[in-house]
Amino acid sequence: MHIPDSFIPLSQAVIYWIIALPFIITSMKWAKNELDEMKVPILAALAAGIFAIQAMNIPIGMGTSGHMVGAALVAIVFGSPWAGVLVLTLVLIVQGFAFGDGGVTTMGANILNMGVISGFIGYYTYIALRKSVGTSIASFGGAWLGLFISAIACAIEMWIAGTFPLRAGLMAMGTYHLIIGFIGEGLITSIVITAIAKSRPDLLEDNFTARPEKNKKETHA
């Protein structure tokens, strides 16, 4: 879903950068407030793993392939969608500048779609579902929906750009990413989260991930 430079006119690409910037800055603030020596190795391992897995395109039929995005996975592990925005921003910067995967002008749109939209929808869907259906299914559902909605957003951006017709764009992007989201995003996220829940349940507990304001005050007092 990496949008190349040629798919969005520069005037619009700039607007997506402007929209993406506050999210990127907030994710840096999240890092400043939340990262400590315990969490850095986890963040670095996830970022490296997500970069590598994005090179692994899975065939989905119809002459099409797709790969995991990973923002939902990072958000679930860290208990914050800002962690997903941060990691996807880093990954997209390296992909765009070193490998020409996703344009540099369109990087704002790519960060918005894959970092912000898929991460936020993925994370909050997971939170909404996890009490009723459990960690494994909730992480599957969240990751799948996050990817699907980000593909829909991408189709709308392509329509505004004048690159795709609206209906056909929504149909094609929706169909492909429904399947990519199922295998590439939902299944892998669920397997990784389930494995973490078994081997390192402490990572998914709220006290490791989200630090509630109350605790923060107590520790600083």
Q: Name residues contacting other proteins, limited to 171-190 (CB under 8 A).
A: 172-173, 176-177, 180
Q: Is 206 in the site for other proteins (CB under 8 A)?
A: no
Which of 105, 125, 139, 209 lies at the binding interface for other proteins (CB under 8 A)? 105
Taking the complex as a whole, the smallest distance from the CB of residue 208 to other proteins amounts, in Å, to 7
For residue 44, give both structure tokens.
């670095």
Q: Is 163 in the site for other proteins (CB under 8 A)?
A: yes
Taking the complex as a whole, the smallest distance from the CB of residue 155 to other proteins amounts, in Å, to 8
Task: Answer for the pair 20, 108: CB distance below 8 angstroms, yes or no.
Answer: yes
DSSP line for 100-157: -SS-STTHHHHIIIIIIIHHHHHHHHHHHHHHHH-HHHHHHHHHHHHHHHHHHHHHHH
H/E element, 64: strand 64-66
Taking the complex as a whole, the smallest distance from the CB of residue 136 to other proteins amounts, in Å, to 19
Q: Is 210 in the site for other proteins (CB under 8 A)?
A: no
Taking the complex as a whole, the smallest distance from the CB of residue 133 to other proteins amounts, in Å, to 26
Residues 110-149 that bind other proteins (CB under 8 A): none
Closer to other proteins by CB, 36 or 214: give it.
36
Q: Is 215 in the site for other proteins (CB under 8 A)?
A: no
Task: Answer for the pair 83, 32: CB distance below 8 angstroms, yes or no.
Answer: no
Per-residue contact flags (x/-) with other proteins for residues 42 to 81, judged by CB under 8 A: xxxxxxxxxxxx-xxxxx--xxxxxx--------------
Q: How far apart are CA 110 and CA 2, in angstroms?
A: 6
Which of 151, 153, 193, 204 lies at the binding interface for other proteins (CB under 8 A)? 151
Please, what is the end-to-end C-alpha distance for the chain in angstroms? 46
Closest among 87, 69, 112, 111 to 31, alpha carbons compared: 87
Which of 7, 120, 126, 140 lies at the binding interface for other proteins (CB under 8 A)? 7
Q: What are phi and psi of 102, to 5 degrees?
A: 90, 135
For residue 193, give both structure tokens.
């989260």
Q: Is 3 in the site for other proteins (CB under 8 A)?
A: yes
Which of 9, 19, 26, 35 lies at the binding interface for other proteins (CB under 8 A)? 35
Taking the complex as a whole, the smallest distance from the CB of residue 173 to other proteins amounts, in Å, to 5
**Inter-residue long-range contacts of 197-203, CB under 8 Å, 24+ positions, other chains counted:** 197/135, 197/136, 203/42, 203/77
Q: Is 96 in the site for other proteins (CB under 8 A)?
A: yes
